[in-house]
Amino acid sequence: MKFVMTFVWAFILGQVLCYVISSMTSTAFNVGTASIFGVIIFILVSLIGSVSITPPPATDER
């Protein structure tokens, strides 16, 4: 579920970011390019999340 929501938010934010950038540069908004950008954001965020999370140290409670 974590990856599904990450993909949804990365896709939405990628679309918004590409729309704003295309509007600022006075170029046409391309949905395909924005979708690819959203997938790239998803991959980067997923990799950062999986690398940065460390498991808690094991304690020996006897």
pLDDT digits (tens, 9 = 90+) for 9-45: 999 999 999 999 999 999 999 999 999 999 999 999 9
Q: Does 19 reside within a domain?
A: yes
Any domain includes 24: yes
Residue 57 placed within a domain: no
Residue 1: pLDDT band (50, 70, 90) is confident
Q: Is the dihedral of CA 43, 44, 48, 51 positive or negative?
A: positive
Counting the structural domains of the chain, the total is 1
Domain assignment present for residue 50? The answer is: no
Helix axes 31-52, 2-24, angle to 10 degrees: 130
Query: What pLDDT is recorded for position 62?
Result: 65
> Which domain, by its residues, includes 10?
2-44
